[in-house]
Structure 1
């Protein structure tokens, strides 16, 4: 992937824990590394095919100085998020140096470096309490309002029988493709927050619920974290998961089985 660099951009801002830092301000030095496709810019020599780094520099300065933060980490994170949301880039790496940090020793600078990117994620969504379709649409609408999430595709909703606990109404199930800046843990926390907002109650295991949101695939990531296991365990065994997922992502690959979703669904 191609890259654009901005190195040593000097900015005067008021970030810092101490009162003097907020009141007096100080110099910060910012390095920016953008990952994006520059093929068309190189081929056609047109400015509109790339990012105008002069305008980007001014936008970064405006964003960095519009609010005061205690931590350099927070200021750097917000800057990464700003670039990802407002510019057509795959990833951004930003280093913010603080050469006048309040340290009573000789040093060159203190710095924080963060790299953030858009991740492709597939979610499962289901409901079997109340107005099921409305519950699912509400969950998608809440997700879509989050600037750190982009809704890319939504499958048809299908009616399915319950699994596990059988004494309950049928489900509506679907799949969603999103792009997100969130890490897996951050995304799972956001999904749990949405479930709580939509009044999900966890009383019976596999029991009735107004809304159920699960992460199926997150890029090609494999992990065994108890909070969010990836890919979702046993997804390949569940028709109510694989049918809507196959509709929107037949060519996606299960990173453990090393098979396309279309093949898994056909075998299922």
Structure 2
């Protein structure tokens, strides 16, 4: 069975965000695969829809036997299990799990875009991603995560690691 490497972004800003991230980590290990690396947890200002509480964010690298679409379904199942309700795009949420990268694949489907289309535009994604994968090359933009962070125009605040 082929082992795939995926980078996931976790985010939460409702309820007890730190506990939600912890619960998501446990479910990811059960349903998706072994977490190989994890960034620090960062507190970041909301992006997109800014009138909401700050988020806690973390990036993981996970080894999984799941295909990309199976990974998406598992992420959504975990979100649902932890109480995620999808109402407003970029709105407040109990938990959000985004697939940033899957191997070095480029996937452009109705329900799945990999690499994640907003990686290069979001500090809250790039800062934890650079912590664990600074030299990973974006398969479309052909720049490392570090290079993407250097040229990111996002001005929203991302704090030092939150513990």
| Same fold (TM > 0.5) | yes
1:190 to 71, 74, 95: 74
Per-residue CA deviations over 1:115-158 (Å, capped at 9, x if unaligned) read: x3001110011000011011001001111123x51110111111
Runs of 4+ in 1 over 2 A off after TM superposition: none
| Paired position in structure 2 for 1:100 | none
| Paired position in structure 2 for 1:199 | 83
Instruction: Provide the secondary structure at the position in 2 that maps to 1:200.
Output: coil
In structure 2, runs of 5+ residues without a counterpart are 153-163
Per-residue CA deviations over 1:168-187 (Å, capped at 9, x if unaligned) read: 11101110000110001000
2:14 to 121, 125, 129: 129
Deviation at 1:203, TM superposition (A): 1.4
Name the count of aligned residue pairs.
152
| Paired position in structure 2 for 1:161 | 45
TM-score by length of structure 1 reads: 0.55
Instruction: Provide the secondary structure at the position in 2 that maps to 1:117.
Output: coil
1:264 to 141, 148, 161: 148
Matched, 1:226 2:115: no
Deviation at 1:204, TM superposition (A): 1.5
1:143 to 21, 24, 28: 28
TM-score by length of structure 2 reads: 0.90
The structure having more radius of gyration, on CA atoms, is 1
Counterpart Cα distance in 2 of 1:233 and 1:203: 21
Instruction: Provide the secondary structure at the position in 1 that maps to 2:107.
Output: coil
Superposed CA RMSD in Å reads 1.0
**1:15-94 residue pairs with structure 2 within 5 A?**
none
Give the structure, 1 or 2, with the largest relative contact order (CA under 8 Å, sep 6 or more). 2
Counterpart Cα distance in 2 of 1:167 and 1:188: 28
Instruction: Provide the secondary structure at the position in 1 that maps to 2:113.
Output: coil
Instruction: Provide the secondary structure at the position in 2 that maps to 1:253.
Output: coil
Counterpart Cα distance in 2 of 1:208 and 1:267: 27
Deviation at 1:167, TM superposition (A): 2.0
Instruction: Provide the secondary structure at the position in 2 that maps to 1:172.
Output: strand
Counterpart Cα distance in 1 of 2:151 and 2:54: 24
